Amino acid sequence: MDCHHVYYLALLQGLTEFLPISSAAHLILMPVIFGWRDQGLAFDVAVHIGTLTAVVIYYAGALRNMAAAWFHSLSGNGMTTDARLAWYVILGTVPAGIAGLAADNYVETQLRNPLVIAASTIAFALVLWLAQRVSAERRTDTEY
pLDDT per residue over 82-103, tens digit each? 999 999 999 999 998 898 888 8
Examine the domain organization and report whether 72 and 7 are in the same domain.
yes
Structural domain that includes position 125? 113-144
Q: What's the pLDDT tens digit per position in 35-75?
A: 999 888 889 989 999 999 999 999 999 999 999 999 999 99
Tell me the average pLDDT across 112-133.
89
Examine the domain organization and report whether 68 and 135 are in the same domain.
no
Average per-residue pLDDT in the chain? 88
Tell me the average pLDDT across 18-29.
84
Examine the domain organization and report whether 126 and 86 are in the same domain.
no
DSSP 77: S
pLDDT at 4 over 70: yes
Examine the domain organization and report whether 14 and 52 are in the same domain.
yes
Examine the domain organization and report whether 7 and 74 are in the same domain.
yes
Examine the domain organization and report whether 30 and 67 are in the same domain.
yes
For residue 139, the model assigns a pLDDT of: 65
Nearest to 108 by CA among 19, 51, 38: 38
Examine the domain organization and report whether 73 and 136 are in the same domain.
no
Tell me the average pLDDT across 123-138.
87
Domains in the chain, number? 2
Angle (nearest 5°) at CA 125 between 122 and 126: 90
The pLDDT-based confidence of 141 (bands split at 50, 70, 90) is low
Examine the domain organization and report whether 57 and 83 are in the same domain.
yes
Say which amino acid occupies 79: M
Examine the domain organization and report whether 45 and 25 are in the same domain.
yes
Q: How many percent of the chain have pLDDT more than 90? A: 48
| HSE-CB of 114 using CA atoms within 13 angstroms | 10
State how far the Cα of 115 lies from the Cα of 117, in Å rounded to an integer: 5
For residue 110, the model assigns a pLDDT of: 81
Examine the domain organization and report whether 15 and 83 are in the same domain.
yes
For residue 85, the model assigns a pLDDT of: 95
State how far the Cα of 47 lies from the Cα of 14, in Å rounded to an integer: 8
Examine the domain organization and report whether 49 and 84 are in the same domain.
yes
Examine the domain organization and report whether 103 and 137 are in the same domain.
no
Spell out the alpha helix ranges (H) of 75-143.
81-102, 104-106, 114-138
